[in-house]
Structure 1
Amino acid sequence: MRISRLYLPVPLASGADVVLDGEHAHYLRTVLRLKRGFDLTVFNGEGGEFAARIVACHREEVRLAVGDYRPVDRESRLGVHLGLGISRGERMDLAIQKAVELGVGAITPLFTERCVVQLDGERKAQRLEHWRRVVWAACEQSGRNRVPEVLEPRSLDAWLPAAAGLKIFLDPHARGGLRELEPPVGMVTLLSGPEGGFSDAEREAAVAESFTPIRLGPRVLRTETAALAALTAIQTLWGDLAA
């Protein structure tokens, strides 16, 4: 039976007991349907993971006994920061979830000219919290023990000057592809647009900040597909699967 993994953003140490808060207790008891005596893996995003066993599991308390530390590292050797144009609902969730599975190191949601989602005040804070939960769940599923950061949503204009490393943006009108670029040293910043893509002015602004436009093939990809196809290719060429 597959051992469940649980992200716990608290200090963890071998030999300690951890009492789960209401949300984590409900998830373990009601969603995963685990019981006293079950084994699982816990991690806190700081690297490595711990064996754990449920020693109490009832309405009043869910408590874990933390066991041996395992220095397991499943991170890509290539740091990737994804600037992702904000899209609607499940499309954005899917792009974030799969980007985590594909090893992205950080994600910044971006407001662009053709962004159809309007976020401000409390709604922006709620969406940011939701996206971070999507990341936590993706780390639990994929075996990652370091949690990628989801940064505060920003405008594209404000984000572009802060980008670092090999800077790439996805543009179906571009002529070149990833294979034509020099392998990166350090990190990659990948910019992927929202539904409707980038405007001409946004393309020009990205190029002015030393972003290289690349295309992924002859077909126009949906926003949730484009970033994932690019991340897969980047990991194959320069990251997880590179020679």
Structure 2
Amino acid sequence: MRIPRIFHPEPLTVNSEVFLDEDAANHVGRVLRMNAGQRLELFDGSNLTFAAEITQADKKRVKVRVLDSQQDDRESPLHLHLGQVMSRGEKMEFTIQKSIELGVNVITPLFSERCGVKLDAERLAKKIQQWQKIAIAACEQCGRNRVPEIREAMTLEAWCSEADEGLKLNLHPRASHSINTLPHPVERIRLLIGPEGGLSTEEIAMTAQHGFTDILLGPRVLRTETTALTAITALQVRFGDLG
């Protein structure tokens, strides 16, 4: 049986004993039905992994002893900040999960003119919490030991106007630049992915005012969730650690 990887939200130290948080304890105790004496691999966001042994397990609480630690850096040299206009249903969850597997560092959900998602403040806060849990689960699955941040949602213009020293990119079907024509080297990228209906003419003009470069992925029209993952993959191949 593969040793399960579990995220622990507090800093870990060798030879300490800790209780897993509620979600992790439920997964280990109820779903996996693990018992005292079995091994886990923990990570706390510090880029270390920790070998641990279960010392107590029941339906509500799981206690572990941290045995040792080692450095395990799986982060790309390219820092990617994804600004994703929110999409409906499971599409946003899919985008978050897969973009984290591909190495994105920060994700900011965005509202735009043609955004089809309408949420009040309470429901939006719950969504952010849910998306952060998806981020954690994606890291547990893909082996990353730093958990990307899911930021609070904001308007497209507010996000575009934030100070950022990196390259700013916006996907546009009539752009003159492709990813392969972008100059080397690039260490930081702020990538904007619009809604299912695309950005308005005014929004595209606004992104240009804030220093965004329009780029073209190819001749075919892609869905918003396909666009994000295709662009991230191409950027990681050119500037990051894929390929």
- Tell me if both proteins adopt one fold, taking TM over 0.5 as the criterion: yes
Q: Where does the alignment leave 5 or more consecutive residues of structure 2 unmatched? A: none
- Counterpart Cα distance in 1 of 2:163 and 2:137: 27
SS in 2 for 1:25: helix
CA RMSD of aligned residues (A): 1.4
SS in 2 for 1:162: coil
Name the stretch that deviates more: 191-200 or 20-29: 20-29
* AA partner of residue 226 (structure 2): T
In the TM superposition, what whole-angstrom CA distance separates every residue of 1:201-226 from its partner, at most 9, and x where no partner exists? 11111111111111111111111110
Q: How far apart are 1:60 and its partner, in Å? A: 5.4
* AA partner of residue 214 (structure 2): P
Q: Does the Cα contact within 8 Å between 1:193 and 1:223 map onto a contact in 2?
A: yes
Q: What is the 5 A alignment of 1:214-233?
A: 214-233=215-234
* Counterpart in the other structure of 2:120: 120
- Counterpart Cα distance in 2 of 1:85 and 1:106: 14
Q: 1:32 to 1:122 in 2, by over 3 A?
A: same
* Counterpart in the other structure of 2:151: 151
Q: Does the Cα contact within 8 Å between 1:166 and 1:184 map onto a contact in 2?
A: no
Identity, % of aligned pairs?
48
* Counterpart in the other structure of 2:178: 177
1:106 and 2:99 are equivalent in the alignment: no
* AA partner of residue 92 (structure 2): M
Q: How far apart are 1:49 and its partner, in Å? A: 1.1
- Counterpart Cα distance in 2 of 1:183 and 1:202: 28
* AA partner of residue 188 (structure 1): I
TM-score by length of 1: 0.95
Q: Does the Cα contact within 8 Å between 1:84 and 1:108 map onto a contact in 2?
A: yes
Q: How far apart are 1:31 and its partner, in Å? A: 2.0
Q: 1:89 to 1:60 in 2, by over 3 A?
A: closer
- Counterpart Cα distance in 2 of 1:50 and 1:31: 21
* Counterpart in the other structure of 2:189: 188
Q: Does the Cα contact within 8 Å between 2:26 and 2:60 map onto a contact in 1?
A: no
* Counterpart in the other structure of 1:213: 214
* Counterpart in the other structure of 1:200: 201
Q: How far apart are 1:184 and its partner, in Å? A: 4.3
- Counterpart Cα distance in 2 of 1:204 and 1:20: 49
SS in 2 for 1:169: strand
